[in-house]
């Protein structure tokens, strides 16, 4: 947006709020590192008034622009504002707000990470590495990469503080009492004589004065909410079946649509015969869309039935191998110089070290995986001559505006995205597909709102999956210690696949190919990590923890193999190798929590693994026991360094859930191709974890480095599969080097 | 066709093969019952028919054999059922999409077995998928609800 545009936008926001008898507060973020001129330009974008607090005579609304896919993002953002604003969560409304460049994600910009000193170069590189691939999203309002808390932690508290001090200034004008003598509590400014002025009653006056800027943030010792458990605002509706999700959206005159896409990904239909489908009850239209056909009816089920009745002649020129074995073959052929994408870790002299005779070698595999949140993807779109409205659960509202523009031709200012609650995402709602298709259908039916709901089968077979990946590793040990670790990883570029679908270039290496491996804080004398970019595979996308979701398994299982070959203790040798104190403390914590080293019953084994991902050092111990019915998961202990645990209750729930997610998929799930199509159709085919397999999960959030507040949406995932594989080895002597592990061992 | 849902009788003119799930959601606007899989693999659509937990995606409307209760009929935000109170107290939900079905399944379990063991809870609840992985909290909430119901 031009500078003029920014000024106009600011004026618009303030004046609109004032006309409505209220006020909108933001905060100016004007101090930025000056080293990078690019950042200076970006900082101008931030200098727009960024509204997070709206107060009118009828109430207080906190704007929480990061989407909530279930892990509590709305609540945690509201807490951070409320902490400084001095309001209670039960007296405010929370709204995701409109798509706006004002809400761009600071933490997504790796170069903006505040790591400059030499001492921090490791952390700086780690963070930049994670964020680098997401740089293309800069300026866009995006939720992902476990960035909601790090992006919000200072910004939202400042917004709350600015609003509070401005309200106090307005109260001082009204009462004649000096600001220094006013205090705030529970949505009121209180004078020394006990008179309480509600924020709502001060809204109009506050709108007339310049917001008070540069308010110092409170010392952590004064915090009322951060670090303490709150009741999420969505817990009551979600405990009573009254929470509305995107799929529940309804409006007058709305019709229901269902789609059927070419089972061969990315191809379309040569022709179709809709005559049988058109004659079915309630069917209003059968329409062509990119990649297939859509049925429109007066009920979701009727639309789903009708779209199945369309006779379609599909294109068959599959741009990836028809059969699964071909996908593995491409990976197997990719460990060559031509496909070398990055080698940012190359310590010591790996080649010389591997000349000897006792080289340990292993190969690992990790499959494609579906996101499959329980709410199938859906979107409601209304296209009129003047504007387009989209109601959907999404992590990328600004980006959807650009995609809809391509379809309907409306200016982006006339495309209105209304973000609704998501029934899970795990990365699935970073993709625009369902909105693109709903817009294509709605554009053919102007004036009629169209809700497109995917069937589970269509959602499953057209999911842009987690990457498939393969690793080849070699190493040596001597004198009871790990001496050499050489890890090569081959996978498709998730970022190139994802960005390619939206027409964005992705120059340079894709650090996701080596994420969770190249940046681990081990001082192994000869230590190399090479990423190989595999071409010609099926479309892939960001699945919880992205590259690290496979690479944590590879790195930590092979390291375990080396440690066992050295005859060392897996916990002690990891601690010895780890030079980064904050990381080592996570290992010390899980060792203490699990009483590592204690005698275990016959048939019980434990494995440990550590991965730093998304800037969060995370250590896990998994315990399994052999039983007549198969391997049983007994206990999991996890310790993660996040700087600050904002809400311990949400933290525990999310981390336990992430462990269930990671272990369930590692044990039971895969996506494979047969005849060019995804072979799995529904949860029966690949179902993750159910309650009967769920272990006890003990969680500890560490706060040894409070200057670096981190997000925990993903970092629990990468070490989990390795800790499980290492536990299985400890219990059975069998090394499991491929996911899903049920191909090699029986679980209860 | 007549259908009684949460104590209200409805007269409907629909295909008898339409699954109860879609009758509830699209014809009657009762949205607490969720579509997750359509093949009885996830349990998000769980309702009670004649007091017993059923996957509404697998019951054709013409075959419904008794009164239907959905999560909205179990209790409301103003007057919660003990199970809903237990879900609130334990802060079970993450995305929450499966939780209506989970609560209906738990209600069925506790009406047949007021004091279930850990293994009985796992057995009864394992047909209900939670992609967010809230199983540890669901286990705890079922126990909280059992205690509450015994105390009544």
CA-based nearest distance A183→chain B, Å: 33
User: For residues A370 and A671, is the Cβ–Cβ distance under 8 A?
Assistant: yes
- Exposure string of A72-98, with b = 16+ CB inside 10 Å and e = fewer, is bbbbbbbbbbbbbbbbebeebebebbb
Distance CA A223, CA A161 (A): 13
Q: Which of B39, B75, B131 lies nearest to residue A373, judging by beta carbons?
A: B131
The answer to whether residue A687 neighbours chain B at the CB level (below 8 Å) is: yes
Mean pLDDT of all residues in chain B?
97
Q: What is the pLDDT of residue A204?
A: 80
- Report CB contact under 8 Å: B137, A653: yes
Report the SS3 class of residue A45: helix
User: For residues A394 and A41, is the Cβ–Cβ distance under 8 A?
Assistant: no
Q: Is A532 exposed, middle or buried (0-12, 13-18, 19+ CB in 10 A)?
A: buried
Whether the ipTM is more than 0.85: the answer is yes
Q: What is the pLDDT of residue A210?
A: 79
CA-based nearest distance A241→chain B, Å: 5
CA-based nearest distance A481→chain B, Å: 38
- Report CB contact under 8 Å: A683, B42: yes
Report the relative pairing of strands B2-5 and A673-674 from DSSP bridges. unpaired
A75, A90, A241, A242: best to mutate for the B interface, most B CBs within 10 A: A241
pLDDT digits (tens, 9 = 90+) for A523-561: 999 999 999 999 999 999 999 999 999 999 999 999 999
The answer to whether residue A299 neighbours chain B at the CB level (below 8 Å) is: yes
**Could you write out the three-class secondary structure of A551-607?**
HHHHHHHHHHHHHHHHCCCHHHHHHHHECCHHHHHHHHHHHHHHCCCCCCCCCEEEE
Q: Which of B42, B71, B77 lies nearest to residue A236, judging by beta carbons?
A: B77
Q: What's the Cα-to-Cα distance from A363 to each of A172, A333, A485, B131, rounded to whole Å?
A: 70, 13, 13, 30
Which two tokens mark A167?
A: 């309200």
CA-based nearest distance B31→chain A, Å: 6
Distance CA A490, CA A100 (A): 38
- pLDDT over 80 at B94, yes or no: yes
Q: Give per-10-residue mean pLDDT for chain A (748 aa).
A: 32 32 41 26 28 79 85 91 94 80 57 36 51 43 77 88 91 96 97 95 82 88 93 94 97 98 96 98 97 98 98 96 98 98 95 94 98 98 98 92 96 94 95 97 98 97 97 98 98 93 84 95 98 98 96 98 98 97 98 97 98 96 98 98 95 98 98 98 93 98 94 96 98 98 97
Grade residue B151 by pLDDT with cuts at 50, 70 and 90: confident
- Report CB contact under 8 Å: B71, A241: yes
- Report CB contact under 8 Å: A372, B131: yes
| CA-wise closest residue to A728 among A631, A652, A642 | A631
- Report CB contact under 8 Å: A660, B74: no
Give pairs for A410-413: CB < 8 Å, separation 24+. Answer: A410/A383
Find the helix or strand (DSSP H, E) in which B21 lies: helix B20-22
The answer to whether residue A219 neighbours chain B at the CB level (below 8 Å) is: no
Query: Which stretches of A672-729 are assigned E, i.e. beta strand?
Result: 673-674, 677-678, 696-702
Say how many CA atoms lie within 13 Å of A7 toward its Cβ: 3
The answer to whether residue A657 neighbours chain B at the CB level (below 8 Å) is: yes
User: Quick one: average pLDDT of B75-92?
Assistant: 98
- Report CB contact under 8 Å: A423, B93: no
CA-based nearest residue in chain B for residue A378: B35
The answer to whether residue B43 neighbours chain A at the CB level (below 8 Å) is: no
Distance CA B54, CA B46 (A): 5
- Report CB contact under 8 Å: B95, A426: no
CA-based nearest residue in chain B for residue A655: B133
The answer to whether residue B19 neighbours chain A at the CB level (below 8 Å) is: yes
The answer to whether residue A748 neighbours chain B at the CB level (below 8 Å) is: no
A701: β partners: A640
Q: What is the pLDDT of residue A118?
A: 34
- Report CB contact under 8 Å: A426, B39: no
- pLDDT over 90 at B4, yes or no: yes
Angle of helix B135-151 relative to helix B82-89, nearest 10 degrees, comes to 140
């Amino acid at each position: 947006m031009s500078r003029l545009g920014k000024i106009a936008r600011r004026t618009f926001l303030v004046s609109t709020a004032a006309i409505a008898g209220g006020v909108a507060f933001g905060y100016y973020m004007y101090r930025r590192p000056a080293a990078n001129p690019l950042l200076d330009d970006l900082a101008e974008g931030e200098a727009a008034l960024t509204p997070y607090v709206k107060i009118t005579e009828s109430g207080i609304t906190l704007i929480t622009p990061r989407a909530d896919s279930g892990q509590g993002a709305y609540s945690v953002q509201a807490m951070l504002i409320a902490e400084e604003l001095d309001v209670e969560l039960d007296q405010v409304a929370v709204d995701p707000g409109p798509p706006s460049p004002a809400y761009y994600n600071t933490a997504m910009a790796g170069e903006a990470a505040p790591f400059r000193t030499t001492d921090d170069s490791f952390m700086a590189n780690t963070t930049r590495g994670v964020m680098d691939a997401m740089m293309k999203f800069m300026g866009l309002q995006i939720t992902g990469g476990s960035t909601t808390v790090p992006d919000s932690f200072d910004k939202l508290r400042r917004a709350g503080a600015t609003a509070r001090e401005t309200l106090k200034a307005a109260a001082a004008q009204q009462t004649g009492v000096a600001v220094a003598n006013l205090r705030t509590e529970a949505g009121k400014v209180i004078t020394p004589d006990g008179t309480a002025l509600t924020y709502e009653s001060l809204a109009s006056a506050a709108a007339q004065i310049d917001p008070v800027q540069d308010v110092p943030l409170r010392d952590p010792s004064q915090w009322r909410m951060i670090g303490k458990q709150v009741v999420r605002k969505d817990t009551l509706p979600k405990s009573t079946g009254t929470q509305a999700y995107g799929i529940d959206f309804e409006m007058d005159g709305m019709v229901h649509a269902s789609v059927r896409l070419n089972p061969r990904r990315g191809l379309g239909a040569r022709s179709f015969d809709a005559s049988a489908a058109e004659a079915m009850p309630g069917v209003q239209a059968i329409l062509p869309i990119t990649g297939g056909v859509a049925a429109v009816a007066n009920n979701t089920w009727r639309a789903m039935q009708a779209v199945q009745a369309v006779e379609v002649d599909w294109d068959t020129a599959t741009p990836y191998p028809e059969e699964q074995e071909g996908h593995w073959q491409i990976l197997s052929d990719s460990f060559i110089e031509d496909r070398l994408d990055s080698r940012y870790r190359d310590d010591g002299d790996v080649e010389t070290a591997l000349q000897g005779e006792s080289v340990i070698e292993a190969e690992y595999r990790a499959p494609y995986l579906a996101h499959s949140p329980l709410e199938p993807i859906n979107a409601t779109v209304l296209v009129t001559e003047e504007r387009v409205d989209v109601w959907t659960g999404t992590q990328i509202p600004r980006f959807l505006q650009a995609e809809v523009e391509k379809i309907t031709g409306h200016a982006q200012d006339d495309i209105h995205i209304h973000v609704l609650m998501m029934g899970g995402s795990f990365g699935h709602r970073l993709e625009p597909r369902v909105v693109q298709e709903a817009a294509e259908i709605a554009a053919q039916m102007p004036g009629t709102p169209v809700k497109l709901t995917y069937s589970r089968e269509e959602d499953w077979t057209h999911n842009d999956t987690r990457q498939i990946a393969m690793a080849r590793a070699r190493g040596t040990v001597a004198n009871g210690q790990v001496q050499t670790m050489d890890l090569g990883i081959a996978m498709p570029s998730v970022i190139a696949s994802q960005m390619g679908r939206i027409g964005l270039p992705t120059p340079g290496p894709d650090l996701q190919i080596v994420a969770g491996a190249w940046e681990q804080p081990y001082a192994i004398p000869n230590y190399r990590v090479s990423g190989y970019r595999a071409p010609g595979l099926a479309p892939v996308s960001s699945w919880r923890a992205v590259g690290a979701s496979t690479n944590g398994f590879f790195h930590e299982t092979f390291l375990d193999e080396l440690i066992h070959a050295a005859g060392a203790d897996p916990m002690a040798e990891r601690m010895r190798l780890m030079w980064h104190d904050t990381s080592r403390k996570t290992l010390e914590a899980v060792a203490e929590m699990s009483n590592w080293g204690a005698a275990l019953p016959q048939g019980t084994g434990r494995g440990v693994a550590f991965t730093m991902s998304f800037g969060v050092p995370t250590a896990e111990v998994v315990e399994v026991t052999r039983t007549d019915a198969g391997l049983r998961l007994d206990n999991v202990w996890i310790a993660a360094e996040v700087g600050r645990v904002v809400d311990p209750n949400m933290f525990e729930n999310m981390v336990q859930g992430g462990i269930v997610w990671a272990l369930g998929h590692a044990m039971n799930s895969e996506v494979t191709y047969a005849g060019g199509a995804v072979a799995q159709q529904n949860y029966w085919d690949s179902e993750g974890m159910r309650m009967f397999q769920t272990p006890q999960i003990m969680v500890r959030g560490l706060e040894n480095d409070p200057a670096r507040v981190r997000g925990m949406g993903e970092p629990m995932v990468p070490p989990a599969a390795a800790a499980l594989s290492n536990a299985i080895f400890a219990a059975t002597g069998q090394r499991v080097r491929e996911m899903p592990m049920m191909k090699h061992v029986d679980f209860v | 066709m007549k259908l009684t849902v949460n104590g209200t009788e409805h007269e409907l003119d629909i295909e008898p093969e339409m699954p109860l799930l879609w009758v509830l959601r699209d014809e009657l606007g009762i949205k607490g019952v969720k579509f997750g899989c359509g093949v009885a693999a996830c349990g998000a659509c769980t309702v009670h028919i004649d007091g017993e937990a059923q996957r509404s995606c697998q019951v054709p409307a013409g075959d419904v054999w008794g009164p239907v209760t959905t999560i909205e009929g179990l209790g409301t935000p103003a007057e919660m059922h003990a199970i809903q109170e237990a879900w609130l107290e334990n802060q079970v939900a993450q995305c929450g999409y499966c939780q209506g079905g989970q609560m209906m399944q738990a209600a069925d379990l506790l009406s047949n077995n007021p004091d279930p063991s850990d293994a009985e809870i796992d057995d009864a609840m394992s047909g209900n998928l939670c992609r967010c992985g809230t199983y540890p909290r669901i286990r705890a909430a079922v126990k909280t609800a059992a205690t509450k119901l015994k105390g009544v």
